[in-house]
Chain A
């Protein structure tokens, strides 16, 4: 899919995703080695966005499995269409048992769920398994066969193997430790907060109307906030939100009043706002 790391960076940038060298390298290797990519990092740094960007670059369809507590086999892999099976049985009344049995367990009555969908297609596919840490530990076991061999075993049909390997991205917020077995099958990428220069470029791209000087100040203040010991430090998404807010407020430069009025966009806890206010010498917040 990609020829070099620079190629990854350039093509992702063309779709609007500015990748750090580490991100680009991991994507390149995941493609080259044919392994799933496990992406961890704080909320709002663009983990899910990365998968979407790769799909856009590769002109692939994006199959998404959103994990939640209680997601199970029938939601992730496949399910038999019972209603249709019953219809089929009552439609063919005079059939022998053997005929009916072999018929109702055929592909026609299989409802593919995201994992099976991603494996079965012939077109290029990006499979996004989002928030893997939210799923129960049993689901991880399910994923193992899919991720290491790109195949799914349906007892009634046999093993379905991918004709074309999907590009797999798993994301996790580290709400729960993922099992060692799962990690072992993946390339690991931690997306942290971007460097100042990269973040400036991201803000410039998302909010091009904001002046260059103000963008630089915005990124500097956010960087300082991240260095503080806060309950929830602002993420890239919040930086962009803040830039939008400043634009809406019509601010040309950062000053005390503007920051005080808009700090709530960046920080989501009252304790944090007070603490940051004290550190930034805002008189009263």
Chain B
């Protein structure tokens, strides 16, 4: 563990143990990896050898993964179990901050990925350690990045590249974005390196369990960052396609219907009262209506946005979809959503700008909003309508207005409530979720996986 070695020379037993540990870590993150795949992976390792790490990564990915989405879990775990080196990087002189920044700027300008990787290692080694023991008690990518500040190199790198290429040409207007992307990549490399160093100290298995971000469909809506939400938005269309097939299948099954006893018996008269041919009750092909009532206040807007887009993508399945947004006042946003399908990123901003959602103050008030909905938009809810309320039920200590909920529930065919908070937190603090849950069928809906299951099951056919 002390010497720095590129390439891995390890006995066979160790490789097998490493591989099974790796697979166990993947399973702990919800990837379904069978024994058969593990055997395949071992064969792949045997065929490819351990000399080339990128080949090994590609080989294990080919044998162990089933979808591209799993790559997000696979890559960080792979970095932990098959690190590119062990111990500290071999640096001749102790790194000096200015010197490192200098070299980093050059590497960014040249877009040299391998060099950037080495610099990331140096950065963590030189500036990421904290604690008092001789080596260090831990490694923090945040601290390393805070000291190096790669983003401040931006202007320098741009001038560098411009000077080198002559600074003309159409493609140069893309330079800013490209440099930003390179810096982002470097930050990622630093994070990976820090995670690896921590793993060495504390045991790989523990870090693999805790420090790897979950795959997109398991991310909590409430804690998803901006890039994660963007990733989720991109998954709306495929998910909608999947759900549409499922709805169509349910509809087919439902259309077969039950036996119509009266018509069966009347038909049986011609066969002497023996019911030879059962007559099925025919169902009228009425497409159901859907009303969505979404809390779009800051805390839960990620969840509402995603669900709105999903329902919009499914609109062909219903005769009518109407979407209402509220914070403490209600307004219809169906029109915004139709146009918003082309630009999902700006959706929530536009909703906030163009709809009247707040009255005297800016915090959410379920009681007032639901009351207003029941009064102003009573006509939107009828006996064919299924209503979904989306929100955490945190009503800032004001009156939950249970009467309004009851009124909506009586008019609608079904009324459901999807709550992005974990069930244990319902009714805690200023949450009126527990009170609402007594009136409405409330479901916990914390991530895409749960949402998918709920939507597939609850949507009317």
Contact = CB atoms under 8 A, between A and B. Distances in A.
User: Interface residue tally of chain A, by bracket?
Assistant: 35 or more
Contacts of A28: 47-48
A231 B236 CA distance: 12
A175 interface: yes
B342 A227 contact: no
Interface residues of B, number: 38
B171 interface: yes
Given A33-B40, A175-B241, A229-B345, A188 B173 contact: no
Contacts of B37: 184
A254 interface: yes
Contacts of B43: 32-33
A227 B47 contact: no
A188 B174 contact: no
Given A175-B241, A184-B34, A229-B345, A25 B66 contact: no
B241 A224 contact: no
B379 interface: no
A25 B49 CA distance: 12
Contacts of B47: 28-29, 32-33
A273 interface: no
Contacts of B44: 29, 32-33
A160 to B, nearest CB: 25
A137 B36 CA distance: 23
Given A176-B241, A256-B170, A35 B342 contact: no
A224 B174 contact: yes
Interface stretch (B52-60, B185-193, B254-262, B308-316): B52-60
B378 interface: no
Nearest to B233: A229
A227 B62 CA distance: 26
Contact of A25 (B62, B65, B170): B62
Contact of B170 (A26, A187, A254): A254
Contacts of A223: 174, 178
Interface string A222-262: 01100101010000000000000000000001111001000
B354 interface: no
B169 A253 contact: yes
Contacts of A281: 173
A190 interface: yes
B216 to A, nearest CB: 14
B62 A176 contact: no
B266 interface: no
A188 B65 CA distance: 6
Contact of A40 (B34, B68, B177): B68
Contact of B171 (A5, A21, A221): A221
Contacts of A21: 54-55, 58
B58 A190 contact: no
B132 interface: no
Interface string B130-172: 0000000000000000000000000000000000000001110
27 contacts: A5-B48, A22-B58, A22-B62, A25-B62, A29-B47, A29-B48, A33-B40, A35-B40, A40-B68, A175-B241, A176-B241, A176-B242, A176-B245, A183-B66, A183-B67, A184-B34, A184-B66, A187-B63, A188-B65, A220-B171, A224-B177, A224-B178, A227-B177, A256-B170, A280-B173, A280-B174, A281-B173
Given A28-B48, A188-B65, 12 more contacts: A5-B55, A21-B54, A21-B58, A29-B63, A32-B47, A40-B68, A180-B66, A184-B37, A254-B170, A259-B170, A280-B174, A281-B173
